[in-house]
Amino acid sequence: MNAGDSVTRMRGVGAGVAARLEKLGIRRIQDLLLHRPNRYEDRTRLWPLAALRPGSRALVLAQIDHVELRYGRRRSLIVSVSDAGSRMTLRFFHFSDTQMQRMQTGAWIRAFGEVRAGPTSLEIVHPDYQVFDRRAEGEQLEPSLTPVYPVTKGVTQNRVRNLARAAVAELERPEFFPELLPGALLGGLPGIALAEALRTIHHPGPDDDLAALTEGRHPAVQRLALEELLAQQLGLRLRRNRAQAAPAPAINPDSGLLAGFIRALGFEPTTAQHRVIDEILGDLRHDSPMLRLVQGDVGSGKTVVAAAAAAACVAAGYQAAFMAPTELLAEQHHRNLAQWLEPLGLRVRLLTGSLKTRERAPELEALGRGEAGLVVGTHALFQKQVSLPRLGLTIIDEQHRFGVHQRLALRDKAGDSAGAIPAMPHQLIMTATPIPRTLAMSAYADLDTSVIDELPPGRQPVTTVAISNARRAQVLERVAAACQAGRQAYWVCTLIEESEALQCQAAEVTAEMLATELSGLQVGLVHGRMDARAKTRGLTAFRDGRIDLLVATTVIEVGVDVPNASLMVIENAERLGLAQLHQLRGRVGRGAEQSHCVLLFQPPLGEVARARLEALRQSNDGFEIARRDLELRGPGEVLGTRQTGAMEFRVADLVRDADLLGAAQSGADRLLAEHPDRVDPLLDRWVHDAQRYADV
């Protein structure tokens, strides 16, 4: 037996238990070893009754003075005990006659549980206990602390505890769970052997620092976290190496064409945009695929950068695909890109789910023939009927809205079946959700990163205020004033309920109400349940200035770009996450006017909600906000749930262990160079879905 075997190899574990353990993520014996206790109970020593404090969990030994059966609302058994002149009470609600009979006055009882202040003395409700005839102090005290594991329905604490104990006992045999990290790779950590670290985590001694163990700051936990982070880095390196081994079309951008493109823009790209465009064009020249993430705060002008890449690719005779998360955004991109690229003689098409079959057919046919051009679309792009035999570049906008698998599905559109054309397109991935460095190091270590760290000139930071619903009338006045001054405003409806239908309904009601309350203004409405054409119509009217106030659901969260809009009101702002609020707010502040964002909230505000609104009020910097978001929500949420597959750590925690990432990266490099034989076992041990790293 070794740790890589299924738990069913262990005594007492049949298919039923195995299925329930699986709910805890425990399939193999090693998963038990890596299943960390939530906390520990100290049953290694006895507490004098006089030293007990409410709230502590303690083991006591005392003599039974008095046993009383009470019939109140519930039958209960009250056992009064004392030792060395101090008294306390043990209280039971469920007990058998046999149990009761054993509680004899004069007998000794050892009890463990949480101490609480009772009506007359300290008490423990339902302790774990044993009764002895005489004072049995030294008997059967636990030699180490008792671990308390996360459990789930159908798997008892005792079961997990016993299985984990059995697994830990096997660590006696070095080959059971072999040491894979050479000591030299442990970075600055004290050289704790793997088996030693696991023993400490499961069965710490009375003198180990429990707080450090439960919080994960203990060297034993850090030792495992480092190994896990290192394994993840290895996976990312392999993934990248494999991806880059495939051939991609080498594209030499035509400098005349790019100059024409920039002329057609009508504005001068910022220094940051120029730099990122150069980085991308540099990648495209190689015959191995680009894998580049472009990070740029909302409004930093990522679309222009993507357009330059697409122009280079299409002018070289290839196809480029630009995928956006919503139809609204796809249509907007299509319009902008067509306006920029078609004057250069490059074709730009649109492919969304709501196109009629009649409209799609000729597009699909042209794409299938391999006609050069840029196609902008939504998820519709990776449907079966879509074939892109000359795909040279994929661009994913707002990538946090997509899953890794969707990115791969689009990439896999490349290549003709005869294999005559290089099969791996270049990939450009764009995100407005600034990713804190630690997270980027881990989640996107397989990508090169470019950062657009500059906004187009003349932008003024959005002024943000948080206003209670009680002052809604004042907000209406601001809306009216802004619109009368010739500017435009958004009113974003969010709802408590998850249901989109309800949210849209609320938006409809709000739009009607606002139209009455602000009778001088043209009020429009856009929500997710309107058909695509109606949505586009609403948005176009807003863009053209025929609508003053656009009431919308969060469908306008990403991408929508109307520079004349300078005021945004967000209802129920306390319900939204920081990243989403920042994205929404990014819809204003796009023109030269000073813009404002009003966060309407329903008091009273909870602590986290208050912290979020405050963070938003204080900063317009997406990176700063993302850092706060990471603190408030944790990495899974920040990356978007669909991204988290590769991010589910068993031991490591990207916030807590940020300072281990450097060592994990250099360790991964050294391991690849010096101990290539350890790579597969490490991946197998740690990486949940190791297979996925085989693919990019």
| 510/491 Cα distance (integer angstroms) | 9
Q: By Cβ distance, which residue is nearest to Mg ion?
A: 559
The interface partner of residue 442, options being Mg ion, ligand ADP, none and the CB cut-off 5 to 8 Å by kind, is none
| 278/288 Cα distance (integer angstroms) | 17
Binds ligand ADP by CB under 6 A, chosen from 178, 456, 577, 636: 456
Cβ closest to ligand ADP, residue 300 vs residue 553: 300
Closest distance to Mg ion from the beta carbon of 324 (Å): 8
Structure tokens belonging to residue 270:
């910022």
Cβ closest to ligand ADP, residue 560 vs residue 616: 560
The interface partner of residue 325, options being ligand ADP, Mg ion, none and the CB cut-off 5 to 8 Å by kind, is none
Look up tokens 């014996």; give the residue: 29
Cβ closest to Mg ion, residue 399 vs residue 536: 399
Closest distance to Mg ion from the beta carbon of 559 (Å): 5
CB burial class (10 A; 0-12, 13-18, 19+) of residue 327?
A: buried
Cβ closest to ligand ADP, residue 93 vs residue 267: 267
Q: By Cβ distance, which residue is nearest to ligand ADP?
A: 301
Closest distance to ligand ADP from the beta carbon of 450 (Å): 12
Structure tokens belonging to residue 695:
């693919």
Cβ closest to Mg ion, residue 528 vs residue 559: 559
Cα angle for residues 192, 195, 201 (degrees, 5° grid): 80
Closest distance to ligand ADP from the beta carbon of 281 (Å): 17
Closest distance to Mg ion from the beta carbon of 206 (Å): 57
Closest distance to ligand ADP from the beta carbon of 270 (Å): 5
Q: Which DSSP string do the residues of 175-210 spell out, in sequence order?
A: TTS---S-GGGSTTS----HHHHHHHHHS--TTS-H
Structure tokens belonging to residue 206:
């009375």
**Please, which of residues 281-310 interact with ligand ADP by CB under 6 A?**
296, 298-304
Binds ligand ADP by CB under 6 A, chosen from 30, 200, 222, 270: 270
Q: Which DSSP string do the residues of 217-249 spell out, in sequence order?
A: -SHHHHHHHHHHHHHHHHHHHHHHHHHHHS---
Closest distance to Mg ion from the beta carbon of 401 (Å): 11
Closest distance to Mg ion from the beta carbon of 672 (Å): 36
| 353/532 Cα distance (integer angstroms) | 9
Strand 75-83 versus strand 57-71 pairing type? antiparallel
The interface partner of residue 187, options being Mg ion, ligand ADP, none and the CB cut-off 5 to 8 Å by kind, is none
The interface partner of residue 267, options being ligand ADP, Mg ion, none and the CB cut-off 5 to 8 Å by kind, is ligand ADP
58 DSSP β-pair partners: 113
Contact partners, residue 268, CB within 8 Å, separation at least 6: 262
Verify binding: residue 273, ligand ADP, rule CB under 6 A. yes
CB atoms within 10 A of CB 45: 10
Decide if 292 contacts 448 (C-beta within 8 A). yes
The interface partner of residue 298, options being ligand ADP, Mg ion, none and the CB cut-off 5 to 8 Å by kind, is ligand ADP
Closest distance to Mg ion from the beta carbon of 626 (Å): 16
The interface partner of residue 326, options being ligand ADP, Mg ion, none and the CB cut-off 5 to 8 Å by kind, is none
Cβ closest to Mg ion, residue 433 vs residue 510: 433
Closest distance to ligand ADP from the beta carbon of 251 (Å): 22
The beta-strand segments (E) located in 358-479 are 373-377, 391-396, 426-431, 448-452, 463-468
Which of these segments, 102-110, 264-272, 442-450, 481-489, binds ligand ADP (CB under 6 A)?
264-272
Could you tell me where the DSSP H helices lie in 206-342? 210-215, 219-245, 255-265, 271-284, 302-315, 327-341
Residues binding ligand ADP: number (CB under 6 A):
17
* Angle between helical axes of 194-202 and 157-170 (0-180°, round to 10): 160
**Please, which of residues 429-448 interact with ligand ADP by CB under 6 A?**
432
| 61/83 Cα distance (integer angstroms) | 8
CA-based R_g, the chain, Å: 31
Structure tokens belonging to residue 457:
């000139």
Cβ closest to ligand ADP, residue 197 vs residue 330: 330
Classify 523 in phi/psi space as left (phi over 0), alpha (psi -120 to 50) or beta. Answer: beta
Verify binding: residue 524, ligand ADP, rule CB under 6 A. no
Closest distance to Mg ion from the beta carbon of 330 (Å): 11
Omega of the bond prior to 604 within 30 degrees of 0, cis? Answer: yes
Closest distance to ligand ADP from the beta carbon of 473 (Å): 33
| 280/286 Cα distance (integer angstroms) | 11
Cβ closest to ligand ADP, residue 434 vs residue 635: 434
Cβ closest to ligand ADP, residue 146 vs residue 270: 270
Give the count of alpha carbons within 13 A of 78, CB side only: 17
Binds ligand ADP by CB under 6 A, chosen from 142, 412, 561, 669: 561
Binds ligand ADP by CB under 6 A, chosen from 191, 267, 359, 634: 267
Closest distance to ligand ADP from the beta carbon of 367 (Å): 25
Cβ closest to Mg ion, residue 127 vs residue 586: 586
351 DSSP β-pair partners: 377
Verify binding: residue 269, ligand ADP, rule CB under 6 A. yes
**Please, which of residues 201-230 interact with ligand ADP by CB under 6 A?**
none
| 186/358 Cα distance (integer angstroms) | 62
Straight-line distance from the first to the last Cα atom of the chain, in angstroms, rounded to the nearest whole number: 34
The interface partner of residue 301, options being ligand ADP, Mg ion, none and the CB cut-off 5 to 8 Å by kind, is ligand ADP
Closest distance to ligand ADP from the beta carbon of 485 (Å): 21
Verify binding: residue 454, ligand ADP, rule CB under 6 A. no
Q: Is the dihedral of CA 53, 56, 62, 67 positive or negative?
A: positive
Strand 488-492 versus strand 565-570 pairing type? parallel
Residues in touch with Mg ion (CB under 5 A): 559
Amino acid at 109: I
Verify binding: residue 581, ligand ADP, rule CB under 6 A. no
Cβ closest to ligand ADP, residue 273 vs residue 488: 273
Cβ closest to ligand ADP, residue 198 vs residue 330: 330
Cα 464 to Cα 540, 570, 621, distances in angstroms = 26, 11, 13
**Please, which of residues 378-397 interact with ligand ADP by CB under 6 A?**
none
Decide if 592 contacts 471 (C-beta within 8 A). no
Closest distance to Mg ion from the beta carbon of 303 (Å): 5
Cβ closest to Mg ion, residue 466 vs residue 556: 556
The residues that touch ligand ADP, with contacts defined as CB under 6 A, are: 267, 269-270, 273, 296, 298-304, 432, 456, 561, 563, 590
